[in-house]
Amino acid sequence: MLSVICPIYNEEKYIAQCIESILQQDYPKDKLEILFVDGMSTDHTRHIIEQYTKEYPYIRIIDNPDKVVPHAMNRGIMASTGDVIIRLDAHAVYPNNYFSQLVKALHKYHADNVGAQCRTLPANQTVSAIAIAAALGSSFGVGNSMFRIGITQDIETDTVPFGCFRREVFEKVGLYDPQLIRNQDDELNARIINHGGKIILLAGLEFDYYARDSYAKLFKMYYQYGLYKPLVNKKLGSPATVRQFIPPMFVMGLVLGAIISLCLPIIGWIYGATMLLYLAAGMMIGIKMAKQHQSALLALAMPFTFFILHFSYGIGYIHGIIKILFKQSFNVTINR
């Protein structure tokens, strides 16, 4: 029995195509249940899903008055009956062998969690949306995040997007941490590894994920990713990866470099050269994207997009450290 859990909140733009990709799955429908855990959506999301529940009895809606993902997942897990649990995201479309390949790999590798690669697509065809999707799929944008930049063979890794779990994993390591509005997957995966578990990223399976459609949404999302990362590190006792330190170092370098440059001209030259190198790297990727999409504006948009991505995560990370040092609350609201 397979239980598929999808946290949702105001997903009317994406939910229908997500459900249609679920209905096309080759997994036996008599061994499948789909649980949409709704954070009390205020748009037409719930109405759209309800139309499907009338025709497909294995699709259900569960209320999540706490609104945020960890509560949604925990409610879904506790309400589910499957031996295997898959987490989905409504911003995505899945190939028709997605469920079956994940379950097959889970048993093949005797893994605790397996996941697929994420192909990031623009939410629409505006220059900003295309640039955001390109930045999230670029190693310059997200470092060595393997599930985003791609792999050629199945690998054991530290985290995967969403995930396919054995049910007993949650009995062993616990449920999602309700305090983590962001980064809850990273923290759970780290707990799995700390308990001797195995996480596998599959090279032969990929899903399409629709990125945020504006710089404001991108900034908010990655600011919150950065904000909660120090809290994850505190809970785990150590950082899971080195790449998470690069954005806060980037922000500190921007500020300290500018200040020191006022006093030491030689530092100013180094600072200026470094900024030009950063700009050039973004421009090179932008020129490539401009040729691909036949839009000269992408050459200018890409450096700005990378800056928003790195700066928002970095400033969020620094704010997270400050919150921990001064024992401040991490409670924030999330609205897509």
Give the model's confidence band at 327: pLDDT under 50 very low, under 70 low, under 90 confident, else very high. Answer: confident
> Is 138 within the bounds of a domain?
no
Give the model's confidence band at 76: pLDDT under 50 very low, under 70 low, under 90 confident, else very high. Answer: very high
Task: Give residue-wise pLDDT tens across range 198-247.
Answer: 999 999 999 999 999 999 999 999 999 999 999 999 999 888 778 889 99
> Is 208 within the bounds of a domain?
no
- The reported pLDDT for the residue numbered 242 is 80
Q: How far apart are CA 59 and CA 45, in angstroms?
A: 14
Q: How far apart are CA 189 and CA 198, in angstroms?
A: 9
Burial class of residue 151 in the structure, from the number of CB atoms within 10 Å of its CB (0-12 exposed, 13-18 middle, 19+ buried): middle
Task: Give residue-wise pLDDT tens across range 94-114.
Answer: 999 999 999 999 999 999 999
State which residues form the domain around 55: 1-96
> Is 291 within the bounds of a domain?
no
* Counted domains in the chain: 1
pTM: 0.92
Q: Which residues pair with 87 in a beta bridge?
A: 5
> Is 33 within the bounds of a domain?
yes
> Is 72 within the bounds of a domain?
yes
Query: Is residue 187 over pLDDT 60?
Result: yes
Query: Is residue 336 over pLDDT 60?
Result: no
CATH assignment of the domain containing 1 = 3.90.550.10
Beta carbons of 305 and 215 less than 8 angstroms apart: yes
